[in-house]
Amino acid sequence: MRYLLVVLWMLFGAMASAMAQVSVGIGIGLPGVSIGINLPVYPELVRMPGYPVYYAPRLDANFFFYDGLYWVYQGDNWYASSWYNGPWGLVAPEVVPLFILRIPVRYYRHPPVYFYGWRPDAPPRWGEHWGPAWEQHRGDWDKWPRKSVPVPAPLPSYQRRYSGPRYPEAQQQHELQRRNYRYQPRDPAVRQQWQPKRDKERE
């Protein structure tokens, strides 16, 4: 019995380590994970007043666009992609961009149960949800000068031409984006993940 417990503990430790490694980066252009989102066409995206973020009012999903990437909050996890239908990369809570964290509760079209009762015009209580260690690492995430909100990134509207069977594979996505979308992220959290991919494409 003791041997079985030791083996199970080792397997659990290995799985936890692997999950931690996967969750650190945004994973742009990696094979990604399936999050159950399958959009037949490019979604309608509307700018949130006072934020450099767009949301998708017609989707039954927490779907956003910020600084050149699409963001989805689902199953207590954040995911990001450079294309509207993935592939999606898991994003650790420690590296989610601040303006994504600041999205008011009212813009979550499919809010998790624990959002209920929270102020709709305020961001989710991430510190309460993710705990004191996260809050200590991301202190003052919900405070910023409202008059200095960055200009939102342009929408990659060229992606409207690619839907259904025309939706490109990951490798084609890189080339299409390189030719059609020149925007460079400004947010350090996004740039940290985006730049290595761009450097690799230039090699």
The pLDDT tens digits for 92-149 are: 999 999 999 999 999 999 999 999 999 999 999 999 999 999 988 888 888 877 777 8
Question: Do the domain assignments include residue 55?
Answer: yes
42 closest CA partner among 131, 133, 155, 154: 155
Question: Do the domain assignments include residue 89?
Answer: yes
Number of domains the chain contains: 1
Question: Do the domain assignments include residue 103?
Answer: yes
Question: Do the domain assignments include residue 171?
Answer: yes
105 closest CA partner among 87, 135, 128, 134: 128
Cβ-proximal residues to 61 (8 Å cutoff; 6+ apart), any chain: 37, 72, 74, 109, 110
Alpha-helix runs per DSSP H in 1-81: 2-23
What pLDDT score does 23 carry?
32
**Based on the number of CB atoms within 10 Å of its own CB, is 89 exposed (0-12), middle (13-18) or buried (19 or more)?**
buried
Residue of higher predicted confidence among 11 and 86: 86
202 closest CA partner among 188, 187, 194, 154: 194
What does the pLDDT average to over 155-171?
A: 95
Q: Report the C-alpha gap between 195 and 25 in whole angstroms.
A: 12
Say what the pTM is.
Answer: 0.81
Tell me which of 29-33, 39-43, 101-105 is least confident.
29-33
Question: Do the domain assignments include residue 64?
Answer: yes
What pLDDT score does 201 carry?
44
Question: Do the domain assignments include residue 155?
Answer: no
- Judge whether residue 44 has pLDDT over 60: yes
Question: Do the domain assignments include residue 120?
Answer: yes
Give me the domain span that covers residue 84: 22-137+162-202
